[in-house]
Structure 1
Amino acid sequence: MPSESESVTFAEFSRSWLSTWAIVRLKASGYREYESIVRLHLIPHFGELTLDEVTVYRIQVYIADKIALGLAPRSVKNHVIVLKRILGTAVDYGLLRENPVDKVASPRIERSEMSFLTPEQIRQLIEATPASWRLLIALPALCGLRKGEILALEFDDIDTEAKTISITKSMRGGIVSTPKTSSSVATLSLPESLLPLIEHRRRQAGGHKLVFCKSDGSPLSDATPNRILARALIKAGLPTIRFHDLRHSWAVAHLRTGTDIKTLAYLGRWSSTATLLETYAHVLPAIGGDAVDRLDRMISRQE
């Protein structure tokens, strides 16, 4: 690793950073994402500059240029996060006095309206899904599993007698890693309605260990669940949603049926109730109104 910021180019340092810092600290899926951002975006823009020439102004111009080219603000913000980590390491190594990213105005990200299906729509969706793939749709919609957790799921993780499912790993790009956070690792109760779907899927799997796989036992691509969902939505005549919105639908249904925040955070394996509250804040006012009405009716009957 070169030692002087005046002679070390961003390209040199960032490549070294990937091979010595990122490869050690990041999950395989995270490393691939960081490497792609560095190679395709950051090095082409900053590569020939020395570290001390990567200034606040130049970073701000980079952000504005990417936004002007039509890149989504969230994607640009991910670039800034990677850049901040790279230059933060340069500060740790004594190659920079301060991190210029700390003074940059990051792109504003508008919170989009959350899409979700009602319980009745979920029932219609599962019925419209081919029998072999109904479990794929039911797991996020009835248990709140994330797509990566579903793709990594093995039959050994499911105990139909105890009616439990163990979440211990996730998959992205065919590579297995640990789940999103430590709180994501858990053993969950299985709804009774999923047991026939599990047994049907077991017969379809041909003895392979992955619950969802190709005919040769290899993992499904990350896009396969999206395509299965899209076709089922069209067949059922339902609005378009993302695969992750099935998990949102599960959470909203729980909230609307009275599941308390602490219990839902445990079932959904969120890292904190604060995260859950922030995500579903728009749902809570209506639920609060229902609670007020229930108390009002109860008191009124006692008068």
Structure 2
Amino acid sequence: PKAERKEMQTLPVEQLTSFLREAKDSGVFALYYIDLTTGLRRGELLGLKWSDIDLEKGDLRVQRQIGRIDGKIIEMPLKTKNAYRTLPLSADAIDVLMQQRRKTGNSEWVFPSPTGGPMSPDSVLHMLHRVLKRAGLPKVRFHDLRHTFATLALQNGVDIKTVSGMLGHFSAGFTLDTYAHVTTSAKREAAKTMGNILSGAV
């Protein structure tokens, strides 16, 4: 049987501003900003080490994930071979990571817990809900930040194959199925644009 997909929610652009402002005030800006610019899964984000990031070249390698098994927080291999990927970083993301680097001192983890080890997946979810509540925004799952990344990329003209590769999906077809609603409205816009161009020519 097909796994039932949870209803996808995304943070629209106008809500992102207040979300990120609140995240900044709560001291957790870097974590959510990097997630929104890369579309990483929660475990992948928490699994980032400084050795995976090349600030000079401006890229980030996804090599492992953090999970919880029997109450223990552990390093785990990624879900599929496609999940091992290298992502480019925007200039803003590099700045955010440079600031984060100064904050983390000598921890090998990009987003360390207060004890210096990797952060717990549950704690970043609680933090997310706290930030959303303070910003007066509806509750979304951590995974919805990934959906927000993909939706914004697709709405702003990034092609499906690129988005699929960045998300670490095994095929662009899977990405298309997941984000069909986004691409459908983009196709409608394209039809309108073509109509306008051609009506001007007739």
TM, length-normalised to structure 1: 0.61
Stretch of structure 1 that moved more, 210-219 or 243-252: 210-219
Distance across 2 between alignment mates of 1:201 and 1:109:
37
1:123 aligns to 2:17 (yes or no):
yes
Secondary structure of residue in 2 paired with 1:188: strand
Q: Equivalent residue for 1:217?
A: 116
Secondary structure of residue in 1 paired with 2:87: strand
Q: Equivalent residue for 2:143?
A: 244
The Cα shift of 1:241 comes to 0.4
CA contact (8 A) 2:20 2:29 kept: yes
Deviations, residues 111-152 of structure 1 (Å, cap 9, x unaligned): 443100123322321111146421211122111111111111
Q: Equivalent residue for 1:19?
A: none
Letter of the 2:20 counterpart: I
Letter of the 1:129 counterpart: A
Q: Which runs of 5+ in 2 are unaligned?
A: none
Which structure has more relative contact order (CA 8 Å, sep 6+)? It is 2
Distance across 1 between alignment mates of 2:193 and 2:28:
39
Distance across 1 between alignment mates of 2:169 and 2:32:
20
* Identical aligned residues as a percent: 32
Distance across 1 between alignment mates of 2:35 and 2:126:
15
Letter of the 2:88 counterpart: S
The Cα shift of 1:266 comes to 1.5
The Cα shift of 1:238 comes to 1.5
Deviations, residues 210-267 of structure 1 (Å, cap 9, x unaligned): 0111233122111011011111111222111001100000101111112221121122
Distance across 2 between alignment mates of 1:281 and 1:161:
36
Distance across 2 between alignment mates of 1:290 and 1:123:
25
The Cα shift of 1:183 comes to 0.8
Which residue, 159, 170, 194 being the options, matches 1:271? 170
Distance across 2 between alignment mates of 1:208 and 1:113:
37
Q: Equivalent residue for 1:165?
A: 60
The Cα shift of 1:110 comes to 4.8
Distance across 2 between alignment mates of 1:190 and 1:114:
25
CA contact (8 A) 1:163 1:190 kept: yes
Q: Equivalent residue for 1:148?
A: 43
The Cα shift of 1:163 comes to 1.0
Aligned residues: 197
1:176 aligns to 2:71 (yes or no):
no
Comparing both structures, which one devotes a greater share of its residues to helix?
1
TM, length-normalised to structure 2: 0.90
Deviations, residues 6-47 of structure 1 (Å, cap 9, x unaligned): xxxxxxxxxxxxxxxxxxxxxxxxxxxxxxxxxxxxxxxxxx
Q: Which runs of 5+ in 1 are unaligned?
A: 1-105
Secondary structure of residue in 2 paired with 1:171: strand
Letter of the 2:129 counterpart: A
Distance across 2 between alignment mates of 1:124 and 1:258:
24
Bigger radius of gyration, 1 or 2? 1
Distance across 1 between alignment mates of 2:57 and 2:3:
44
Comparing both structures, which one devotes a greater share of its residues to strand?
2
CA contact (8 A) 2:50 2:110 kept: yes
The Cα shift of 1:293 comes to 0.8
